[in-house]
Amino acid sequence: MMVQAELRPAVVVIGASRGIGRAIAKVAAREKAPVVLVARSHDDLVAVASEIGEAGGEAFVLDLDLFSADAAARLGDFLTANNLCCDVLVNSAGYGLRGAATTLPVQDQLGIIDLNIRALTDLSLHFLPGMVARGRGGVLNLGSIAGFMPGPNMALYYASKSYVRSFSEALHQELRRTGVTVTCVAPGPVSTEFLQRSGADRVPLFKVLPKLDADYVAERAWRGFKSGRRLVVPGTSAKLAAFAAAWLPSAVMLPLIGRLQRRSNDPCPCGSGIKFKDCCGARSRRDGLRQNTPLNR
């Protein structure tokens, strides 16, 4: 039977096929430890593994559906079969949807919980005990500046990233004397496919905010994790947004975010089936005009 001491420590990157996960995998490969690339897209994983190999690193590829209840166990079996153990776990898989919660498909919204919250939690709790037993390693969780505030018109995504930040910071405190680090990286908008896939690229908020480069975020995230930091917020705009979220009252933040993440052509959340601009949006404008009209004397 194989004993734990024979297993080589590896960096396991979940969601390594694209975006920030892909960038972190390439940064982590510089450590000269094996990197295990995990996602559903086999061809994209092979491409990342090839890049790492050409740079002198060692990469393993695992096609894995994180929505499967046994995903963590299957990953563990894969590591053992390749004489590896999870020394560092990078949880970078996730997705979001833009739109009113009452108009978006329910199952698609529940999928955000399954991937951004349940899968991240399952993987973390599955591999952290081994890290603690070895007295080394840790978890790097990809959060978002969205985790600092509620997000009308992206309600489930913002809530999921709030969970990631809270969960990560709590674990960081619990494990601070064990030799194991848990870090949450919370960037603002990043130039990846996420903005297009979520539909966020078409709303005012994400048009005006500066976009960070995925390689920049990966470098800051990895450096912060290696230095044992609890939270990493890359970029000046993200730091300002976190500060504003902490100090501005909800009565100001909520309407502002809701408006900036809504399009006038969106279905109205009241369930009328009419565009927002022709339904509640038009009613809001009429009410505003009445409030601003002087009384006749």
Buried b (16+ CB within 10 A) or exposed e, 87-122: bbbbbbbbbbbbbbeeebeeeebebbeebbbbbbbb
* DSSP-assigned letter for residue 154: S
3-state secondary structure of 5: helix
**Residue with the two structure tokens 């969780």:** 141
Residue from 94, 138, 96 nearest 119 by CA: 94
| Chain CA centroid to CA 180, Å | 21
Answer yes or no: 157 catalytic. yes
Angle between helices 19-28 and 42-54 (to 10 degrees): 30
Query: Which position among 95, 157, 158, 163 bears the catalytic label?
Result: 157
Residue 139 and residue 225: Cα distance in Å, rounded? Answer: 8
Measured CA to CA in angstroms, residue 275 lies from 101, 262, 279 at distances of 15, 11, 6
Residue 163 and residue 219: Cα distance in Å, rounded? Answer: 24
The alpha carbon dihedral of 263, 266, 268, 274 has a sign of positive
Give, for 245, the enclosing helix (H) or strand (E): helix 236-247
Q: How many CB atoms lie within 10 A of CB 68?
A: 11
Residue 10 and residue 17: Cα distance in Å, rounded? Answer: 17
Residue 84 and residue 99: Cα distance in Å, rounded? Answer: 42
Q: Which two tokens stand for residue 159?
A: 């809530």
Provide the annotated active-site residues: 157
